[in-house]
Structure 1
Amino acid sequence: MAVEKVDATLADFDAHFDRLLASPAAASDGKLKLLLFLADREPDSSLTWCPDCNVAEPVIYERLEALQGRDAVLLRAYVGDKPTWRDPAHPWRVDPRFGLKGVPTLIRWENGAAAARLGDDEAHLKDKVDALLGAGGN
């Protein structure tokens, strides 16, 4: 299985989202489509400012690599620094497609909508991640 990882910020998210997940070509390419909303990384480390993200990320990547026989695209969307994320009017909090409540949030995207979701309280649990990844079929 090949996993294409693409990073996006608020500024360039829409272009990446449209190309990788929402376009007709992307919809028919047979790849597992995933969105992972994360806190921004700290400038002096590879970690984010969000402890839950730092726990969930390696679990998600490990479970993705363990999948067999299906290519995937993972759009990692960085929500910004703490003050940006904490704003109740944050674009991804108010966007009805995503309705984010916390980070990390992992979403399986199918047929133009969220087909499955793990919020910040579940995204670090291997069995939950496996269920989300496998629920799309192989």
Structure 2
Amino acid sequence: MTVEKVDATLADFGAHFERLFASPDAASDGKVKLLLFLADREPGSSLTWCPDCNVAEPVIYERLEALRGRDAVLLRAYVGDKPTWRDPAHPWRVDPRFALTGVPTLIRWEGGAAAARLGDEEAHLKDKVDALLGAGSN
């Protein structure tokens, strides 16, 4: 199993999302499609400004590596700095496809929509991540 990880910002998210999730080729490639919304990394650090993201991220990557027999694509979408993220009009807060309320948020995408989701209060729990990864069709 391989996991293709792609990083996106607010500025380039649309193009990545279209190519990896919404195009006809992506729809038929058989890969597990995952969106991971995270806080931006602190300058000069591998950590984000969000403590929950820093706890959940390694758990999610560990569980992804345990996913057997399926290829996956993980689009890591960085929400911006704290002031950008806290704006109630943040594009991913108001977009009905995502309707984010917190970070990290992990979404399994199937059939053009969110099939399963873990919010900031669950994204660090191995059993919850495993359940999300096993959700849907195989």
TM over 0.5, shorter chain: yes
CA deviation profile, 1:4-61 (whole Å, cap 9, x unmatched): 0000000000000000011111011000000000000001210000000000000000
User: Does the CA contact (< 8 Å) of 1:117 and 1:132 recur in 2?
Assistant: yes
Correspondence 1:1-138 to 2 at 5 A: 1-138=1-138
Distance 2:2 2:128 in 1: 21
How far is 1:137 from its partner?
Answer: 3.5
Runs of 4+ aligned structure 1 residues displaced above 3 Å come to none
Over the matched positions of the two proteins, sequence identity in percent amounts to: 91
5+ residue gaps in structure 1?
none
Deviation at 1:136, TM superposition (A): 2.5
Q: Distance in 2 between matches of 1:87 and 1:68?
A: 39
Aligned-partner Cα distance in 2 for 1:37–1:12: 14
Question: What count of residue pairs does the alignment treat as equivalent?
Answer: 138
Q: Deviations over 1:44-91 (max 9, x none)?
A: 210000000000000000000001100000000000000000000000
5+ long unaligned stretches in structure 2 = none
Question: For the residues of structure 1 that align with 2:109 and 2:33, how far apart are their CA atoms?
Answer: 5
Instruction: Report the Cα offset of residue 131 of structure 1.
Output: 0.2
Secondary structure, in 3 states, of the residue corresponding to 1:40? coil
RMSD: 0.6
Counterpart contact for 1:32–1:136, Cα < 8 Å: no
